[in-house]
Amino acid sequence: MNFFGDYAWKEKTRTFGAGTVFGSPFTESSALDVTFKNFQAVNVTAGMLLDVWEKEEKRLSFGAVYHSPYTADVDRIIDQSATFDGSPVQIEPAHKRSHLEIDYPMSFGAGFGFRYSDALSFSMNVTWTDWSEFQQEDEDGVETRPIAGASEDRDIDDTFAVRFGTEYLIFKQKMIVPVRGGLFYEPRPSLDEPTDVYGVSVGSGITFKRFSIDAAYQFRWANDVDDEDFALPGTFGTFDLTENLFLASVIVYF
């Protein structure tokens, strides 16, 4: 369901460059907009949660979750343009729309949660994702990898993600204030070997009897990212990646 647009998601890429050729300066830029619309898919998720140890208010729990593989139907619209010294450069195709069937991989995760007290708790989990099955097929029956449209014979290794988090609750007379933090290693799928991605997150909020408000900030970074994964020109093989994400939510209890 789309609340703020008629698309499932958008990817926007902008590149800028400058230099000299035979002593003459030049500038160049490019824009690539990829819009995915009408996304449809069905998958199955199953999980379990067990208390494996308990003493007074302390408790150790074990949990596991399985996400089944699935095939998604989606429309993809590509718009791209480029300039050289301020003048447009012809790119073909400048606009293209196609229908894709994308095979998404299965994943399995497991972890532990430890409640030290009513106020303090910790968690840790590991997730395996079978990215070797990640591929797509267009309406002409051409199969490629969803990463930069690479050939289907290019390998994509599976990934193992590790996450650690903690939460401390501050109890007030009529409200609860949570303070949260986390560290994680989430390698992203890449052609051949995965790209090492690290991150930190912090969050807080306020909870009343009838509603709660939460906010969180996440920072992710990676070094030596292969530009082939993004099909970016002019990045000389590798580049560094940083991402900032801010989330907020409001929950009303009935």
Alpha carbon distance 136, 100 (integer Å) = 6
Region 221-248: mean pLDDT is: 79
**pLDDT score, position 1:** 42
**Is-contact 157 194, C-beta < 8 A?**
yes
**pLDDT score, position 6:** 59
Is the model's pLDDT at 55 over the cut of 80? yes
Q: Which residues pair with 82 in a beta bridge?
A: 30, 89
Per-residue pLDDT tens digits for 172-182: 988 999 999 99
Lowest-confidence range among 4-8, 108-112, 195-199, 249-253? 4-8
Instruction: Report if pTM > 0.75.
Output: yes
Is the model's pLDDT at 233 over the cut of 90? no
**pLDDT score, position 236:** 54
CATH architecture of 42-69+105-252: Beta Barrel (2.40)
% of the chain exceeding 90 in pLDDT? 66
% of the chain exceeding 70 in pLDDT? 94
Domain boundaries defined on the chain: 1-40+72-98, 42-69+105-252
**pLDDT score, position 205:** 96
Kindly give, in sequence order, each residue whose CB lies less than 8 Å from that of residue 183, ignoring residues fewer than 6 positions away: 163, 164, 165, 199, 200
**pLDDT score, position 7:** 61
Predicted confidence band of residue 120 (pLDDT cuts 50, 70, 90): very high
More confident residue, 108 or 91: 108
Tell me the three state secondary structure of residue 233: coil
**pLDDT score, position 67:** 97
User: Please, what is the average pLDDT of the chain?
Assistant: 90
DSSP-assigned letter for residue 188: B
Region 83-97: mean pLDDT is: 88
**pLDDT score, position 13:** 83
Region 15-30: mean pLDDT is: 87
